[in-house]
């Protein structure tokens, strides 16, 4: 039986509200809400923050904690299907919602993505190489870490994002100290790899198993936070891009995934001894939701990652997205806000192909994602040139 949730009014029933729900009210939820509303759905957001970016634009905002029984019950009652925008939403809350409503992605898939150790085990099961690593939950496991994982990065198994919950360690003494400073919570130690560049692939998989993907994104991180995404022909060697796409699809299929999934990869510097034997491309991590590196799809593709999320949730047909413009996206962090005022948007918007997206956040603090700016154009050279001009205007380091 089809579970398709077709939007809009039926003449017989008169106006009806078909409401799609989202757990989490951040910018990803806000852009999901925009996409759902464009297609005629009503929306409900569950987020404790009265001023959450998505809550402020949604028809309904249920302002409770993610595990609040009354909040979850109200969300389930209001909505015909529910998704998530925030990977640290407790998987248990999704499981609870799934008892009465279709929920995608599933609590099981989100649960795996929430735990770096489970996530890496899944990559290994799918035959996709990741950085050599060790799980550290006990002192004995720490003591048994092989020498070749150092220098490495110690990452908390749960709740990390934007480089938080990570420490770079060179020696066993530093490893011991870093684990102590993380209160000895479960961690993974990853070998520090020589990165040539980073990329990501966004796939959308329907309940019927159909899978489509966006073009491969080339990403630049600064201080553990995404800074720039570049998407155009030739951003990566085509053979590498194809391998990344195939790997992302097999990771989604291995999870029986329904929804939008982003898989992040490292492209290694093959000439470096630390990269030997790893095959040039390794998976870093996955996000069970749309991703910052896919924001360009709003302006440069005929179907955005958020429309893909709506389509998978409502079980609408998936067609392969087509990129119609070269694109460069700049993240707009709180760092670029002047003390008294706003950045020079007028100068930036005077550049051709500029698309400004601000998330409606009240306070611009350091490292906080306030918005993004995508440049679209006919060629890679065009969009790089305009994006570099914008970066200079805004005080963002050139790339």
Annotated binding-site residues read: 116, 155, 160-166, 190-193, 198, 221, 284-285
In the list 80, 108, 192, 318, the residue contacting ligand ATP (rule: CB under 6 A) is 192
Stretch that binds ligand ATP, among 37-45, 187-195, 210-218, 343-351 (CB under 6 A): 187-195
Radius of gyration of the chain (CA): 21
Angstrom CA distances, 114 to 6, 125, 156, 159, stand at 31, 17, 11, 7
Q: Judge whether 266 and 193 are in contact, CB under 8 Å.
A: yes
51, 28 contact by CB (below 8 A): no
Q: Which residue has the tokens 């870490």?
A: 145
Shortest reach from residue 162's CB to ligand ATP, in Å = 4
Nearer to ligand ATP, 264 or 382 (CB): 264
Which residue(s) pair with 38 in the sheet?
Answer: none
- Per CB under 6 A, which region of 42-50, 190-198, 318-326, 383-391 contacts ligand ATP? 190-198
Cβ-based nearer residue to ligand ATP, 243 or 289 = 289
Answer for which of 47, 85, 119, 285 binds ligand ATP (CB under 6 A) is 285
Of 55, 102, 160, 206, which lies in the binding site for ligand ATP, with binding defined by CB under 6 A?
A: 160
CA distance 2 to 17: 20
Binding mask of the shown chain, residues 47 to 86, with x at each position contacting ligand ATP by CB under 6 A: ----------------------------------------
Residues in the annotated binding site for ATP: 116, 155, 160-166, 190-193, 198, 221, 284-285
Residue 10 has phi, psi (to 5 degrees) of -110, 135
Contact segment (CB under 6 A) with ligand ATP among 186-194, 204-212, 356-364, 370-378 equals 186-194
C-alpha 67/C-alpha 275 separation (Å) is 43
Residue whose CB is less far from ligand ATP, 108 or 195: 195
Q: Do the beta carbons of residue 327 and residue 374 sit within 8 Å?
A: yes
Cα-Cα-Cα-Cα dihedral of 234, 225, 264, 182, to 10°? 160
d(CA 338, CA 315): 44
Q: Does 221 bind ligand ATP (CB under 6 A)?
A: yes
Q: How far apart are CA 336 and CA 342, in angstroms?
A: 9
Spatial distance between the Cα atoms of 165 and 71, rounded to a whole number of angstroms: 29
Which residues, 287 to 346, sit near ligand ATP by CB under 6 A? none
- CA-to-CA distance for 82 and 75, rounded, in angstroms? 8
Cα dihedral across residues 121, 122, 125, 128: positive or negative: negative
The least distance separating ligand ATP from the CB of residue 131, rounded to whole angstroms, comes to 4
Q: Is 193 in the site for ligand ATP (CB under 6 A)?
A: yes
Using CB under 6 A as the binding rule, the residues of this chain from 223 to 262 that contact ligand ATP are 224
Residues that bind ligand ATP (CB under 6 A): 131, 153, 155, 160-164, 190, 192-193, 195, 198, 221, 224, 264, 284-285
């Amino acid at each position: 039986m089809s579970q398709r949730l077709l939007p809009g009014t039926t003449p017989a029933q008169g106006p009806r509200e078909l409401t799609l729900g989202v757990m989490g009210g951040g910018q990803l939820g806000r852009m999901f809400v925009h996409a759902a509303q464009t297609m005629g759905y009503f929306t409900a957001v569950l987020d404790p923050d009265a001023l959450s970016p998505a809550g402020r634009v949604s028809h309904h905002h249920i302002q409770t904690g993610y595990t609040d029984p009354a909040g979850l019950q109200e969300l389930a009652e209001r909505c015909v299907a529910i998704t998530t925008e925030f990977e640290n939403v407790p998987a248990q809350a999704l499981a609870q919602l799934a008892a009465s409503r279709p929920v995608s992605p599933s609590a099981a898939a989100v649960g795996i993505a929430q735990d770096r150790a489970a996530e890496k085990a899944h990559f290994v099961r799918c035959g996709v190489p990741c950085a050599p690593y060790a799980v550290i939950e006990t002192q004995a496991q720490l003591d048994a870490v092989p020498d070749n994982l150092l220098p490495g990065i110690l990452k908390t198994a749960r709740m990390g994002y934007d480089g938080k919950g990570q420490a770079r360690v060179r020696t066993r003494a530093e490893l011991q100290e870093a684990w102590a400073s993380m209160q000895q919570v479960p961690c993974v130690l990853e070998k520090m790899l020589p990165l040539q560049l980073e990329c990501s692939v966004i796939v959308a998989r329907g309940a019927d198993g159909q899978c489509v993907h966006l073009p491969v994104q080339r990403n630049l991180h600064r201080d553990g936070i995404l800074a720039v995404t570049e998407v155009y022909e030739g951003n990566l060697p085509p053979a590498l891009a194809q391998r990344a796409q195939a790997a992302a699809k097999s990771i989604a299929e291995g999870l029986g995934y329904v929804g939008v999934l982003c898989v992040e990869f490292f492209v290694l510097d093959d000439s470096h001894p630390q990269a030997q034997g790893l095959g040039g491309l390794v998976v870093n991590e996955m996000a069970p939701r749309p991703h910052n590196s896919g924001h360009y799809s709003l302006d440069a593709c005929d179907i955005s990652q958020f429309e893909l999320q709506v389509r998978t949730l409502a079980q609408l047909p998936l067609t392969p997205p087509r990129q119609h413009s070269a694109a460069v996206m700049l993240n707009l962090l709180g760092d670029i806000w002047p003390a008294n005022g706003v950045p020079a948007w007028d100068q930036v918007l005077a550049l051709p192909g500029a698309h400004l997206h601000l998330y409606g956040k009240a306070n611009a603090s350091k490292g906080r994602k306030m918005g993004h700016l995508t440049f679209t154009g006919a060629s890679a050279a065009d969009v790089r040139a305009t994006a570099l001009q914008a970066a200079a205007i805004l005080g963002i380091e050139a790339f």
